[in-house]
Structure 1
Amino acid sequence: MTHAMGFGENDLRESAGARSFERGLGYVDAVTGLEVGDGWFTATVHGGDAYEVEITDDGDDGVSGECDCPYGLEGNFCKHCVAVGLVVLRQADLIPRQRTAAAARAGNLESWLESLDRDALLALLRQQLADDRDLRRRLELRAATAVSDIAAVRDRIADLLATGRFSRHGYVDYADSRAYGEQAGEAVAAIESLTASGQAAEAVGLARWAIRLLGEAYEQIDDSSGYVGSVAADLMAAHLDACRVARPDPEETARWLVGHQLGNDNDATDADPVDYREVLGERGLAQVRELATEAWQRKPSGWAEKYLMERLEKAEGDVDALVAVCAADLAPNGATHLRIALELDAAGREAEALAWAERGLKDTEGSVHVDSRLMDWVCARYERSGRAAEAVTVRRGRLRADRSLAAYQNLRTVARTVGCWESEREAALGLLRSDAARQRQGWGGGPVLVDALLDDGDPDAAWEAAADRADDRQWLTLADRVKDSRPADALGVYLRLAEPLKQVAGDGNYQQLARLLLGARTCHEKLGTQEEFAGYLAALRAGQKRKRNLMKILDQHGL
């Protein structure tokens, strides 16, 4: 049912996905401090930590949300957003009145502020500054920028880029990285303000200094979300804008760019000289090339040196020079061979491109670690030119070197195209059977043979191959596949996997236990032993009754 605010449970489920939605059901009682605005709702959700959530009513487009939990910081509509949304829906009848009250409070505040004279407003602001250190630091920076106090601006930027207040254990963890990034963004804004106010030369120097500080700080930050990296990109853009206005010495700028790119503090910021073409001019670009070439010749295997040379050659469109740079240090997994092939192919030199890619296959023959994109590219080229049989040979060789499910699947796909999968399958399964006999395991711990037979749609053969060698993941997949045809066998798997989950806590474990119980119930229904399952479930609930979240989850699943 859709309520007056424009979204309903289905919208929450669609935004979050089934898994997060189900988990969010267990957090409804953990929502506190709900505040209602014009199209938005904020609240705190108490889980492993206290998370701040804001969801927005997008009208016909449903609902969106933000949360400062790790999953939410990745841009996902998380279980905490779901919980807040469900609370809002449960209070749907109260929302219009709460919105009216919120609008009235905002209007009263605006009217009151407008009624204050200058001295009263200043007194109010000073009181707020005394209580709010962050606000005071932001306004101090604006004031220093406005009066061109570069020393003060420099000091404020140093404070904004310091990690101390966000560093709990010697580094800024994932949960605090966004807050640090928002603070660092204020330093970027200050540099942009200097450029806009006619102080571009000062902005250039401060930007370079800030880039160094942020580069040093970045080593202590878990920036898995990429938020601090986006701030770093903004900082580099602010430097480039300042350079376009101030026009610093081209050769000095070239030396700084190359030094930064080859230095130790460039993880956060990429100073691409090609972006500075307008600022550098011919003289500066020549200096960049000279310095970059010297550095690359000294260290041809250096990642930064190589990247810099590749960017310069690519910008000038010299494919042969770019190939020479790449070929000077070929990656052992074939990735560089592929890079060269792609560049030659884009230049219309298809025969040379294929030759380089084939050389990559030869150089990596027998190796487990090969860039899969190289093999995909070569096989696609073979199939396009009517040489699918050669693609089969390539895929067969890959399976011999890397007994993985992916290699098996790739061989099956191309062999079916050629019409030789039946014979290829027997040989391929023979390899995997020999691995299984020697207890050679796949990525999950069980033999790849079981995964391959399951992927082929042959669960009975997979069951026989599993014996006592399959891992729990494989056994669960097997049980799901055979619960209709072999319910007694599948039931044994579900009950065995459920047993250890009775001893642990956590919503994730509870959801998995419920999943196993649903499978067991299906098996009992097939066997006509529903009463036996009812007794098992009653005993389980009695023994686990203190786990309130587990009871809720079982109720949600009708167990």
Structure 2
Amino acid sequence: MHRWSASNEHGSQMQEAVTVLEQAAGTEDPAEVFTVTQKAIASALQVIMRADDSSGIIGDACRSLLDLHPKAAAAAMPPVGKLVDWMVAFQFDNECDFFTLDPVVYLPALGEKGMTAYRAKLAGITERLVPRPAADERWSSADSHHWFTLDWNAQRLAVLDRDVEAIIRTHVRDRKVARWFVDTAEALAEIGEFALAIDWARQAVDFGPGHQSLTAGEYWCTLLAEHRPGELLAARLDLFRRWPSSSTAAHLYRDAGDAWPDYRGEVTNRLASSPRDAVLFALLSLQDVPYAWELAHTLLLEDDGTWGELVKVYEKVDPLAVLPVLNRLVMRELVETGAQHYKIAARRLKKMRTLAAGSEHEAEVDWFIAELRETNRRRPRLQQEFDRAGLS
């Protein structure tokens, strides 16, 4: 199944089979459902190792089977020793290492006795692998996958044990990556330690100016909205001041509510240095089309994509006012060659002709189209796209 289309077709069939299994889990013999699920996982892993799964359809089917497996195990209650052996073999002896198992969700099937046996298996693997490679050699080590899997299990078992110190130690590691602070916060939230989770999410924000810290800010605000709503607005303002953009401004605007006038001046001033963000905020969040149009001109907006979005809505306000903008966008599109550029230019020219119809600009637009045809007479594909758009 190296052909993409064949892989997609097979993946769709796998998804249908998974759906049948999920439905059977509630009505059929639990032992049979568990056995079939486990066999289906083995088969699915063989398939994904040899298929072009660019679309991710087969991978999604595999994940669905792996989600079903612990539930089927809890219903069937297979021998604990066999289940532990399967979990260890899946993670450490499998040719396909694309997926992980979460020991937390296997607790109902394993029980305390089974979980103790599982921990013992992991400890035995760790002993055989020592010494642990240095951090900068982790991924070049011959046992890199084993160490990754052991570390993942250590994280999940810390959550299972509700051990705050172990969660922090295993998740934040050497504190060199902002995302690891978020991982720590998410694990703490999972066990209900929301005050600590909020603190660690805030530490991720303070980590640095990178994108991971900005993303951490969204998680920080999510936690505040759920558990400390009185602190949310201050957090939104903090994030906007650190990363002024149309997105952070939009979140501040939404959460400010009636207090928005207190922040409008600061937001407007900060966004003025980024015309694209200023216009998008006015257009998408404030939904003030005339104001967005005014900003685009006064701030000398250069981003063609934003101009294109603005034209779509402002043509309903003043159809003729957008003609110069469309003219400029067409000319800039034709700086490049290629069918896609020609199609976009033709579509915009057709829009210009529609908007100008019956106005004093109608002849001017027709002349512009004719002039472009003549100037670009050596571009046959452009002429073809203009013909298709009816630009005669």
TM-score range, shorter chain: 0.5 to 0.7
| Aligned amino acid, residue 325 of structure 2 | A
3-state DSSP class of the match of 1:222?
coil
| Aligned amino acid, residue 337 of structure 1 | F
2:337 maps to 1:337: no
2:159 maps to 1:325: no
* 1:502-535 Cα distance to aligned partner (Å, 9 max, x none): x6436x963x345312431255348512234345
- Cα deviation for residue 396 of structure 1 reads 0.9
Distance in 2 (CA, whole Å) between partners of 1:481 and 1:206 is 55
C-alpha distance 343-312 of structure 1, shift in aligned 2 (>3 A): closer
* 1:525-547 Cα distance to aligned partner (Å, 9 max, x none): 48512234345557879977997
C-alpha distance 263-519 of structure 1, shift in aligned 2 (>3 A): farther
Distance in 2 (CA, whole Å) between partners of 1:391 and 1:316 is 34
Distance in 1 (CA, whole Å) between partners of 2:303 and 2:102 is 48
8 Å CA contact 1:326–1:336 kept in 2: the answer is: yes
3-state DSSP class of the match of 1:521?
helix
Which residue of structure 2 lines up, in the alignment, with residue 424 of structure 1? 266
8 Å CA contact 2:356–2:365 kept in 1: the answer is: yes
C-alpha distance 472-330 of structure 1, shift in aligned 2 (>3 A): same
Which residue of structure 2 lines up, in the alignment, with residue 144 of structure 1? none
- Cα deviation for residue 385 of structure 1 reads 1.7
Distance in 2 (CA, whole Å) between partners of 1:319 and 1:395 is 31
Q: How does 1:426-505 map to 2 (within 5 A)?
A: 427-429=269-271, 431-432=273-274, 448=277, 451=280, 457-466=291-300, 470-480=302-312, 484=318, 486-487=321-322, 489-497=324-332, 499=334, 504-505=338-339
8 Å CA contact 1:379–1:394 kept in 2: the answer is: no
Which residue of structure 2 lines up, in the alignment, with residue 392 of structure 1? 237
- Cα deviation for residue 177 of structure 1 reads 1.3
Which residue of structure 2 lines up, in the alignment, with residue 308 of structure 1? 153
2:121 maps to 1:291: yes
- Cα deviation for residue 230 of structure 1 reads 0.7
2:208 maps to 1:373: no
Which residue of structure 2 lines up, in the alignment, with residue 258 of structure 1? 88
Distance in 2 (CA, whole Å) between partners of 1:227 and 1:212 is 9
8 Å CA contact 2:189–2:197 kept in 1: the answer is: yes
8 Å CA contact 1:514–1:553 kept in 2: the answer is: yes
Distance in 1 (CA, whole Å) between partners of 2:66 and 2:107 is 18
C-alpha distance 216-287 of structure 1, shift in aligned 2 (>3 A): farther
Which residue of structure 1 lines up, in the alignment, with residue 349 of structure 2? 517
Which residue of structure 2 lines up, in the alignment, with residue 352 of structure 1? 196
- Cα deviation for residue 377 of structure 1 reads 2.7
More helix by share: 2
- Cα deviation for residue 316 of structure 1 reads 5.2
* 1:215-242 Cα distance to aligned partner (Å, 9 max, x none): 643xx52242423541574489689969
Question: Unmatched 5+ residue regions in structure 1?
Answer: 1-165, 434-446
2:46 maps to 1:213: yes
8 Å CA contact 2:350–2:389 kept in 1: the answer is: no
* 1:143-170 Cα distance to aligned partner (Å, 9 max, x none): xxxxxxxxxxxxxxxxxxxxxxx32xxx
* 1:89-110 Cα distance to aligned partner (Å, 9 max, x none): xxxxxxxxxxxxxxxxxxxxxx
8 Å CA contact 1:354–1:378 kept in 2: the answer is: yes
3-state DSSP class of the match of 1:224?
coil
Equivalent pairs counted in the alignment come to: 354
3-state DSSP class of the match of 2:339?
coil
* 1:448-471 Cα distance to aligned partner (Å, 9 max, x none): 55645655633223224336xx23
| Aligned amino acid, residue 55 of structure 2 | S
C-alpha distance 379-395 of structure 1, shift in aligned 2 (>3 A): farther
3-state DSSP class of the match of 1:466?
coil
More strand by share: 1
Distance in 2 (CA, whole Å) between partners of 1:519 and 1:180 is 43
8 Å CA contact 1:545–1:551 kept in 2: the answer is: no
Identity %, equivalent residues:
19
Which residue of structure 2 lines up, in the alignment, with residue 361 of structure 1? 205
3-state DSSP class of the match of 2:177?
coil
| Aligned amino acid, residue 324 of structure 2 | D
Question: Unmatched 5+ residue regions in structure 2?
Answer: 139-146
C-alpha distance 405-318 of structure 1, shift in aligned 2 (>3 A): same
Distance in 2 (CA, whole Å) between partners of 1:545 and 1:264 is 52
Equivalent residue in structure 1 for 2:246, among 385, 405, 427: 405
8 Å CA contact 1:337–1:359 kept in 2: the answer is: yes
* 1:454-510 Cα distance to aligned partner (Å, 9 max, x none): 55633223224336xx23323434544665273453243244256468x6436x963
| Aligned amino acid, residue 287 of structure 1 | A
Higher relative contact order (CA 8 A, sep 6+): 2
Which residue of structure 1 lines up, in the alignment, with residue 58 of structure 2? 227
C-alpha distance 208-239 of structure 1, shift in aligned 2 (>3 A): farther
8 Å CA contact 2:53–2:59 kept in 1: the answer is: no
- Cα deviation for residue 386 of structure 1 reads 5.5
Which residue of structure 2 lines up, in the alignment, with residue 132 of structure 1? none
Q: How does 1:42-191 map to 2 (within 5 A)?
A: 166-167=1-2, 172-173=3-4, 175-181=5-11
8 Å CA contact 1:200–1:243 kept in 2: the answer is: no
3-state DSSP class of the match of 2:53?
coil
8 Å CA contact 2:253–2:260 kept in 1: the answer is: no
8 Å CA contact 1:398–1:407 kept in 2: the answer is: yes
8 Å CA contact 1:341–1:352 kept in 2: the answer is: yes
8 Å CA contact 1:341–1:354 kept in 2: the answer is: yes
Distance in 1 (CA, whole Å) between partners of 2:186 and 2:13 is 41
C-alpha distance 554-177 of structure 1, shift in aligned 2 (>3 A): farther
| Aligned amino acid, residue 352 of structure 1 | L
C-alpha distance 281-346 of structure 1, shift in aligned 2 (>3 A): closer
8 Å CA contact 1:524–1:533 kept in 2: the answer is: yes
C-alpha distance 413-379 of structure 1, shift in aligned 2 (>3 A): farther
Q: How does 1:507-546 map to 2 (within 5 A)?
A: 510=343, 512-521=344-353, 524-525=356-357, 528-534=360-366
Q: How does 1:269-288 map to 2 (within 5 A)?
A: 269-274=99-104, 276-277=106-107, 280=110, 282-288=112-118
C-alpha distance 237-348 of structure 1, shift in aligned 2 (>3 A): closer
- Cα deviation for residue 548 of structure 1 reads 7.3
C-alpha distance 234-209 of structure 1, shift in aligned 2 (>3 A): closer
